[in-house]
Amino acid sequence: MSSLFEQLGGQEAVDLTVDKFYERVLKDERVKHFFDDVDMVKQRQHQKQFLTYAFGGSSKYSGKAMRQSHKQLVQEKGLSDEHFDAIVEDLVETLKELEVSENLIEQVKSIAGDIHHRNDILNR
Protein backbone atom coordinates (compact mmCIF):
# COMPACT_ATOMS: atom_id res chain seq x y z
CA MET A 1 0.00 0.00 0.00
CA SER A 2 1.28 3.46 -0.81
CA SER A 3 1.82 6.11 1.83
CA LEU A 4 -0.49 9.07 2.29
CA PHE A 5 2.42 11.17 0.96
CA GLU A 6 2.37 9.22 -2.31
CA GLN A 7 -1.44 9.22 -2.51
CA LEU A 8 -1.46 13.01 -2.17
CA GLY A 9 0.97 13.34 -5.09
CA GLY A 10 4.41 13.30 -3.49
CA GLN A 11 6.73 16.20 -2.85
CA GLU A 12 5.33 18.45 -5.55
CA ALA A 13 1.84 18.16 -4.04
CA VAL A 14 3.05 18.77 -0.49
CA ASP A 15 5.04 21.81 -1.62
CA LEU A 16 2.02 23.28 -3.43
CA THR A 17 -0.27 22.52 -0.50
CA VAL A 18 2.03 24.23 2.01
CA ASP A 19 2.43 27.31 -0.19
CA LYS A 20 -1.36 27.63 -0.69
CA PHE A 21 -1.98 26.84 2.99
CA TYR A 22 0.21 29.74 4.17
CA GLU A 23 -1.44 32.10 1.67
CA ARG A 24 -4.70 31.24 3.42
CA VAL A 25 -3.28 31.37 6.97
CA LEU A 26 -1.72 34.79 6.44
CA LYS A 27 -5.15 36.15 5.52
CA ASP A 28 -6.94 34.43 8.41
CA GLU A 29 -7.69 37.02 11.10
CA ARG A 30 -7.89 34.27 13.71
CA VAL A 31 -4.27 33.17 13.36
CA LYS A 32 -2.24 35.45 11.09
CA HIS A 33 -0.81 37.39 14.05
CA PHE A 34 1.15 34.31 15.12
CA PHE A 35 3.28 34.76 12.00
CA ASP A 36 4.02 38.49 12.28
CA ASP A 37 7.70 38.01 13.12
CA VAL A 38 8.25 34.72 11.29
CA ASP A 39 10.61 34.16 8.37
CA MET A 40 7.96 32.67 6.07
CA VAL A 41 10.46 31.20 3.61
CA LYS A 42 12.00 29.23 6.45
CA GLN A 43 8.56 28.43 7.92
CA ARG A 44 7.28 27.04 4.61
CA GLN A 45 10.37 24.88 4.23
CA HIS A 46 10.03 23.59 7.78
CA GLN A 47 6.34 22.77 7.24
CA LYS A 48 7.08 20.97 3.98
CA GLN A 49 9.68 18.87 5.76
CA PHE A 50 7.32 18.11 8.64
CA LEU A 51 4.34 17.16 6.45
CA THR A 52 6.54 14.99 4.25
CA TYR A 53 7.51 13.11 7.40
CA ALA A 54 3.99 13.07 8.92
CA PHE A 55 2.45 11.73 5.71
CA GLY A 56 5.00 8.93 5.35
CA GLY A 57 7.28 10.44 2.70
CA SER A 58 10.34 10.33 4.94
CA SER A 59 11.37 8.31 7.97
CA LYS A 60 13.36 11.21 9.45
CA TYR A 61 12.40 14.61 10.81
CA SER A 62 15.12 16.96 12.00
CA GLY A 63 13.00 19.86 13.26
CA LYS A 64 12.32 20.79 16.86
CA ALA A 65 9.75 18.88 18.86
CA MET A 66 6.23 20.32 18.60
CA ARG A 67 6.06 21.14 22.30
CA GLN A 68 9.35 23.03 22.21
CA SER A 69 8.69 24.91 18.98
CA HIS A 70 5.25 26.17 20.07
CA LYS A 71 5.89 26.83 23.77
CA GLN A 72 6.58 30.54 23.31
CA LEU A 73 3.40 30.96 21.24
CA VAL A 74 1.34 29.45 24.04
CA GLN A 75 3.00 31.46 26.79
CA GLU A 76 3.37 34.82 25.06
CA LYS A 77 0.64 34.95 22.41
CA GLY A 78 -2.05 32.73 23.94
CA LEU A 79 -2.07 29.94 21.36
CA SER A 80 -5.20 27.91 22.15
CA ASP A 81 -7.58 25.21 20.92
CA GLU A 82 -9.44 27.84 18.90
CA HIS A 83 -6.26 28.68 16.99
CA PHE A 84 -5.33 25.02 16.54
CA ASP A 85 -8.78 24.34 15.06
CA ALA A 86 -8.45 27.34 12.74
CA ILE A 87 -5.14 26.01 11.39
CA VAL A 88 -6.64 22.56 10.76
CA GLU A 89 -9.61 24.22 9.08
CA ASP A 90 -7.28 26.26 6.85
CA LEU A 91 -5.42 23.09 5.88
CA VAL A 92 -8.66 21.29 5.03
CA GLU A 93 -9.92 24.25 2.98
CA THR A 94 -6.61 24.34 1.11
CA LEU A 95 -6.89 20.65 0.27
CA LYS A 96 -10.45 21.17 -0.96
CA GLU A 97 -9.28 24.06 -3.13
CA LEU A 98 -6.67 21.73 -4.61
CA GLU A 99 -9.43 19.16 -5.29
CA VAL A 100 -7.99 16.48 -3.01
CA SER A 101 -10.44 13.61 -2.46
CA GLU A 102 -12.56 13.60 0.70
CA ASN A 103 -10.98 10.28 1.75
CA LEU A 104 -7.48 11.75 1.65
CA ILE A 105 -8.64 14.93 3.38
CA GLU A 106 -10.03 12.81 6.22
CA GLN A 107 -6.68 11.03 6.53
CA VAL A 108 -4.86 14.36 6.66
CA LYS A 109 -7.32 15.66 9.27
CA SER A 110 -6.76 12.61 11.45
CA ILE A 111 -3.02 13.29 11.43
CA ALA A 112 -3.17 17.09 11.71
CA GLY A 113 -5.89 17.10 14.34
CA ASP A 114 -4.55 14.21 16.40
CA ILE A 115 -5.02 14.78 20.14
CA HIS A 116 -1.34 14.06 20.80
CA HIS A 117 -0.27 16.72 18.30
CA ARG A 118 -2.81 19.14 19.76
CA ASN A 119 -1.57 18.54 23.30
CA ASP A 120 2.07 18.87 22.29
CA ILE A 121 1.49 22.06 20.34
CA LEU A 122 -0.61 23.57 23.15
CA ASN A 123 1.93 22.40 25.77
CA ARG A 124 -0.49 20.32 27.81
Annotated binding site: 46, 70, 117
Q: What pLDDT is stored for residue 1 in this prediction? A: 66
CA gap 5, 51 in Å, rounded: 8
Please give the annotated binding residues for heme, written as ranges. 46, 70, 117
Residue 106 makes CB contacts below 8 A (sequence gap 6+) with none
Q: Looking at the predicted structure, is the pLDDT value of residue 44 above 70?
A: yes
Whether the per-residue pLDDT at 63 is higher than 80: the answer is: no
Q: Is 78 left (phi over 0), alpha (psi -120 to 50) or beta?
A: left
pLDDT exceeds cutoff 90 at 10: yes
The residue ranges of every structural domain in the chain are 4-121
pTM: 0.91
Level-2 CATH architecture, domain 4-121: Orthogonal Bundle (1.10)
The HSE-up count of residue 47 (CA atoms within 13 Å, CB side) is 21
